[in-house]
Amino acid sequence: GVSKACEGIARNPGASGKIMTTLIIGLALIESLAIYTLVVVLIILFANPFGI
């Protein structure tokens, strides 16, 4: 996670650009998954597509 990225940058400061890029992409994917899940839950709750 984030702590391992910090450790990697501390050990090898020259690789900080690549580590930060990978970290930001990973965090963006995790965040987008959470947002998509929220949207699906709200659709199920309020649109009631299954007629329950």
Question: How is the chain split into domains, by residue range?
Answer: 2-46
Does residue 15 contact residue 9 with C-beta atoms inside 8 Å?
yes
Q: What is the pLDDT of residue 26?
A: 93
Q: What is the pLDDT of residue 52?
A: 63
Q: What is the pLDDT of residue 39?
A: 95
Q: What is the pLDDT of residue 7?
A: 93
Residue that the structure tokens 């900080």 belong to: 16
Query: To which CATH superfamily is domain 2-46 assigned?
Result: F1F0 ATP synthase subunit C (1.20.20.10)
Given pLDDT bands bounded at 50, 70 and 90, which one contains residue 47? confident
Q: Tell me, what amino acid is at 22?
A: T
pLDDT tens sequence across 14-43? 999 999 999 999 999 999 999 999 999 998
- Region class of 51: left (phi > 0), else alpha (psi between -120 and 50), else beta: left
